[in-house]
Amino acid sequence: MKHDRHQSTLAVVPSYNEGGNIAQVIDQIRANDRGIDILVIDDGSHDGTSVVARRSGAKVISLSTNMGYGVALQTGYKYAFEHGYDYLVQLDADGQHDPSYIPELLKTVQLGRADLVLGSRFLQEMPSKHDGLRVYVPGIFRRIGIRLFAFLTTSLVGFRVTDPTSGYQAFNRAVITFFTHDFFPCDYPDADVIVLAHRAGFKIKEVPMVIYESNGGRTMHSGTKPLYYAFKMLLSLSMTLIRRRPVLSHSENI
């Protein structure tokens, strides 16, 4: 079923044990875009995340077990595709992604400046605080990983990409459709997704934003996880380059 134009945008919020943050995130999304629909993908939480999200007025899909960030995201993409949404914005449930950037991200896509727009923390000088909140400062392994994959992504796509791992994105119907396919990398979809979309012919653009410290003080890349992430991302990038270049169908070019 096709939505009316003012109801054609979906915010996808993958969540795992974010019961303490999700209500505030939902409220902030709604405050910045009254017409947007909000879908929380509860990735096997055991802290009541889905209950809180529903009480806050969001649509909720609850996965039976923790399937991982990429699976949760693609679940949202498939929902958006099946329900006829024209635009999608994705952001984290831990409070790191500021929903006040949603209008700018969406405007860039809706005006046709890009098919896929990425929020970047490195297009402007980051203050130590923003709106009274502490700005997220990645640890040393994380910083090395960001720089490495920014360099690799830039080299592979032929234009500068400063922040391939921020995870704050918006895109149009064609990209939604493209990301529902089986070749979508469902482990840590970051730099490999950008390269995949570029190879398929999509126009990609970055816009400046700020990322805050997680409200819970933890991120998916804490501790030694960046080392595992780096290994998996290098492997995924290699597979993306080895695969035959994806070809858009007629419907994905509309």
Residue-wise pLDDT for 170-217, tens only, equals 999 999 999 999 989 887 788 899 999 999 999 999 999 988 877 654
Q: What is the DSSP string of the chain?
A: -PPPGGG-EEEEEEESS-TTTHHHHHHHHHHH-TT-EEEEEEES-SSSHHHHHHHTT-EEEEESS---HHHHHHHHHHHHHHTT-SEEEE--SSS-B-GGGHHHHHHHHHTTS-SEEEEESSSSPPPSEETTEEBP---HHHHHHHHHHHHHHHHHHSS--S-TT---EEEEHHHHHHTTSTTS--SS-SHHHHHHHHHTT--EEEEE--BBPPTTS--TT-TTHHHHHHHHHHHHHHHHHHSPPP---TGGG-
* pLDDT mean over 113-126: 88
Domains of the chain: 7-248 (3.90.550.10)
Tell me the pLDDT band of 115, cut-offs 50, 70 and 90. very high
User: Residues 133-165: pLDDT tens digits?
Assistant: 557 666 677 778 888 889 999 999 999 999 998
Distance from CA of residue 252 to its chain's centroid?
20
- pLDDT at residue number 217: 44
